[in-house]
Every structure is written in structure tokens, then in C-alpha cells.
Amino acid sequence: MADAMKDRPGWETEAAETSLAGDENSLPAGSDIGALLAPLVGTDIPGGCDECPDPYQTVERLHGVWLLTVHHDDGCPRLVRYRRGGAA
């Protein structure tokens, strides 16, 4: 990746900021993301949007990729902005 990014100013800083290594939210050493997410499939997880009165999230696995989807209320201001083409 470094070779592809070397002509882009600031790439070293950007890469360091997006790394999960040592981050308090990173996975514990030796953990398996599938083992953590599989029990959540088929459940509604409360939250996911600060602007909705009743948002929830779902987890599913599709062709080996884990998907986390936030479900907004129809009147959610963030969803309305998104549908109008504005920034979410």
C-alpha cells in the first residue's frame, strides 16, 4: 500500500489515524470477528443514529462479508438529508 500512496501528501499520518492497532476499540488479540458477530445475526441491536427516536441495527453475513445495517425511522432528519442528496 505504501508504494501506491507515496505520492499522496500526508498518507503516513492518514494510515496511522485509521489503524486499529492499539486502539481501545480494536479486537482482543486472537479474537475472531465471526465469533463476535455470529451471535448477533437475526437480532435487532438498539441504537445506531443519534437523530432517530427508535433506530436499530442488524448484522448479517453475505458471501463471506459481514454487514452492519442501521435502520432509521422514516422521519429521521439524517435519513431525510441523505435521500435529498445531502451529507448524512
List pLDDT tens digits, range 29-71.
667 888 889 999 999 999 999 999 999 999 999 998 999 999 9
* Residue 68 three-state SS: strand
In whole numbers, what is the pLDDT of the chain averaged over residues?
Answer: 75
Cell output for 18: 485509521
User: Is pLDDT at 14 greater than 80 in this prediction?
Assistant: no
Q: Percentages helix, strand, coil for the chain, rounded to the nearest 5?
A: 30, 20, 50
The residue type of 49 is: C
**Matching residue, cell 454487514:** 67
More confident residue, 6 or 49: 49
Looking at residue 26, its pLDDT comes to 63
pTM: 0.59
* Residue 13 three-state SS: helix
**Phi, psi (deg, nearest 5) at residue 39:** -65, -15
